[in-house]
Structure 1
């Protein structure tokens, strides 16, 4: 079976980006013991990631690069903020350090993460861009399995494991 909408895909991958010197930097991987399993065509994955896999079948190897624009977007210079130190201390916590990724919540209760870029006398500067924003993504791996989604998976909008029987 070839990868098409409403199929469940299990695959391995290695993800790399490139640094300022043009060298590849390892980010993460999914291997045969812990593959990435997803329902294809329902918006769970980056659209261009899925586009590159379309038509592939079990055993196929792949390797492609997504531009920053096709991945998590370019860096938005307006997505930086200074938060008062008191919001951390008053909540009983500590002031985060530069380089930490901290959980935040917007006014509607949606959770997201921000990277701490600087700590000033009264404020903590954070980057609200996705950590992979502005970076090209280099994927390589192997398609381990492609199967039709079950009716339950289609109704729930996600895969229930490589065999379709994983509880959630």
Structure 2
């Protein structure tokens, strides 16, 4: 069985930066599960997994646009410091969480004053050439309910 639309794929990954240093990994934890073909995974990762079988191990370095997005220099904005979540005292370079109309978003503090802060809304990993070491753990056909909901259920997926 190969990874294709309407299949639930579970995989492990290790994310490495341009120098090969590990940024994050789920090794030793539960595999990530997603419903293939339903926009639940970064396009660069889903494209790399497409057609692979369970047990496949490979590395891929997708373009930034297909992972965390291209870096946009115009993505800075000023917000009240009371909207920043995650610390009591803010300094430039610190990550913060802000609530948006689309839900919570991680931002980076660029400059902070007494009442206002300048934040960078780019994802911290945007614009970078990152390598993903992937191991496809298993693949199964999705249930009708998963397809109707547009995501996988169970371990590593969505919990209702």
Name the TM-score, length of structure 1 as normaliser: 0.81
Contact 2:15 2:131 in 1 (8 A): yes
Q: 2:133 aligns with which of 129, 140, 145?
A: 140
Contact 1:88 1:94 in 2 (8 A): no
Q: Closer, same or farther in 2 for the Cα pair 1:81/1:64, shift >3 Å?
A: same
Q: Name the SS for the 1:24 alignment partner.
A: coil
Q: Name the SS for the 1:152 alignment partner.
A: helix
Unaligned runs of 5+ in 1: none
Deviation digits for residues 105-158 of structure 1 (CA, Å, limit 9, x no counterpart):
33x464322111222355322111111111112011211101100111112211
Mapping for residues 50-65 of structure 1, pairs under 5 Å: 50-65=46-61
Name the TM-score, length of structure 2 as normaliser: 0.85
Q: Which residue of 2 aligns with 1:4?
A: 4
Q: Which residue of 2 aligns with 1:66?
A: 62
Give the whole-Å Cα distance in 2 for the aligned partners of 1:163 and 1:114.
25
Q: Which residue of 1 aligns with 2:43?
A: 47
Q: Which residue of 2 aligns with 1:29?
A: 25
Contact 2:30 2:156 in 1 (8 A): no
Deviation digits for residues 20-43 of structure 1 (CA, Å, limit 9, x no counterpart):
xxx223111122641111111100
Mapping for residues 7-22 of structure 1, pairs under 5 Å: 7-18=7-18
Quote the RMSD (CA, aligned, Å). Answer: 2.7
Question: How many residues matched?
Answer: 159
Mapping for residues 143-154 of structure 1, pairs under 5 Å: 143-154=136-147
Q: Name the SS for the 1:116 alignment partner.
A: strand
Which has the larger Rg?
1
* Aligned-residue offset at 1:95: 4.4
